[in-house]
Structure 1
Amino acid sequence: MAEPRAGRPRATGPRPVLPRRVYVVRRLVALAVVVALVVVAVLVVRRLTGSDDAAPATPTATAHTPKTPASTAADEPTLSAVEEAALAAGVPVCTADHLDVEFDATKDAYAGTEKPAFRITYTNTGDEPCLADAGDAMRRVTVVSGDDTVWASWHCRREPESRPLLLGPDEPSEETYRWPRVRSDKACSAGQPAPRAGTYTARLLIGEDVAAKAVFELR
């Protein structure tokens, strides 16, 4: 009679401990997926509900029509797309105290028709991941020469968009922003004169506050 085969010996000893950075990265990846799904859902819902704007108006109430109590929905605070995404994902919105923003020109001077470019770097200085709005709804750029406002990102843009950006602790996120090297005004007038050679200052505004400035030249 054949003898039974011996079982494979089980490994003993403590399991290897992964570095803290690995756990942080895994958590950020999972949160990023959740945030992306939430943002898509919010945009779809807003697009569908926006189609009701063309619905026929309800008849005006007469003396024989019982009046309904006024809705209290207007008294409730309206959340932005980023606030809704952060609430659904279970992460806070980045506050000014925990958000460091850097802004600088990629070159000292831009010649010919070269379009000036600027680096915008966001860093979460807190201990936990947070969600920032890196879209034009919160972040704005203007180019000035002395007291003359040459160009502003909100001129000619009717509906600025939000762009939720998930930031891990001490994990910077960098993007490049380009000025089209044209002049603009609030009326979005056509035929504006081209900016002349000289020294200009680009300003980055977060909300209503100037967060940073970058000086450069046009040649």
Structure 2
Amino acid sequence: MSAAPPRRRLSPAVYRRRRIVLLLALLAAAALVWVLIAQPWRGASATAPDPTPTSVQGGVSDLPVPGTSTPTPSGAPTPEGTADAVPSPSAAPSDTATPTAKACMARDVTVEPLTDQDTYDPGQNPQLSIRLTNAGSTDCTLNVGTSKQSFLIVSGDDVWWRSTDCQTEPSDMLVLLAAGQSVSSAAPLTWDRTRSSVGDCGAGDRQVAPGDGASYHLSVEIGGIPSTQSKQIFLY
């Protein structure tokens, strides 16, 4: 019986080619597994950009308006533009916006309640607004959205009306206030001269505020900063 011929030894070049082919196959398999697990094509839609402050411009008609649902009581004047008010659009962002500005400090911000008149005849409804001033020396950011606004009307110790009692669709709006800048409500909020209540936001009768020269005071709050003084009005 003759012996089997010896196996021919492969050259080093053949071994190198085989190792290269094997390495490429392993890399291709690893890349396929990464694509299936990581799903990089979802990155753009899954990652939301960080919110940046909107720079308010000019000084008037910049703050959004809280929406309220206020039924018309029997015998009361008809509200003008109060029911389901829609927040006004904010001013267009400015190229000078500074997203890195710090939050406003209460000591640097002045909040004032405003009304369109001091006295109101029968049938006239008070129009309420807010003026906000950055009295500090640096720019700062503040949430002035309708979720952070509050209008309060009292007569003595008697609370007559809160804008938050029947507020609809509150929202947030972060703005950049330049040093020394003042901004005001985009549109006034109407008080229909009735008593508000959290439990009476639908159809129904509300108590009408007395007139005949009765005195009422308006206080406001925005961004967690209350007004330091109230605004007095008289109803006839």
Report the TM-score when normalising by structure 1: 0.54
Matches within 5 A, 1:58-137: 89-137=99-147
Q: Which amino acid aligns with 1:179?
A: T
* 1:192 alignment partner, one of 206, 217, 226: 206
Q: Contact 2:118/2:234 (CA < 8 Å) preserved in 1?
A: yes
Q: Contact 1:101/1:121 (CA < 8 Å) preserved in 2?
A: yes
Matches within 5 A, 1:1-219: 35-36=53-54, 89-157=99-167, 160-175=170-185, 176-181=187-192, 182-188=194-200, 190-197=204-211, 198-206=214-222, 207=224, 209=226, 211-219=228-236
**Structure 1 residues 138, 105: closer, same or farther in 2, change over 3 A?**
same
Q: Contact 1:205/1:212 (CA < 8 Å) preserved in 2?
A: no
Q: Which amino acid aligns with 1:178?
A: L
Measure, in 1, the Cα distance between the counterparts of 2:167 and 2:189. 16
Identity %: 23
Q: Which amino acid aligns with 1:108?
A: D
Q: Shift of residue 103 of structure 1?
A: 2.1
Q: Which amino acid aligns with 1:35?
A: P
Q: Shift of residue 177 of structure 1?
A: 3.4
Supply the RMSD in Å over aligned alpha carbons: 2.8
**Structure 1 residues 215, 129: closer, same or farther in 2, change over 3 A?**
same
Unaligned runs of 5+ in 2: 1-51, 56-97
Q: Contact 1:126/1:170 (CA < 8 Å) preserved in 2?
A: yes
**Structure 1 residues 173, 154: closer, same or farther in 2, change over 3 A?**
same
Q: Shift of residue 156 of structure 1?
A: 1.7
Q: Contact 2:113/2:129 (CA < 8 Å) preserved in 1?
A: yes
Report the TM-score when normalising by structure 2: 0.50
Q: Shift of residue 127 of structure 1?
A: 2.4
What's the CA shift string for 1:47-94, capped at 9, x where partnerless? xxxxxxxxxxxxxxxxxxxxxxxxxxxxxxxxxxxxxxxxx9222121
Q: Shift of residue 200 of structure 1?
A: 0.8
Measure, in 2, the Cα distance between the counterparts of 1:118 and 1:157. 15
Q: Contact 1:144/1:200 (CA < 8 Å) preserved in 2?
A: yes
Measure, in 1, the Cα distance between the counterparts of 2:133 and 2:227. 17
Q: Which amino acid aligns with 1:170?
A: G
Q: Which amino acid aligns with 1:188?
A: D
Measure, in 2, the Cα distance between the counterparts of 1:99 and 1:208. 8
Unaligned runs of 5+ in 1: 1-33, 38-87
**Structure 1 residues 138, 180: closer, same or farther in 2, change over 3 A?**
same
What is the number of residues matched between the two proteins? 137
Q: Contact 2:101/2:139 (CA < 8 Å) preserved in 1?
A: yes
Q: Shift of residue 158 of structure 1?
A: 6.1
Q: Which amino acid aligns with 2:103?
A: V
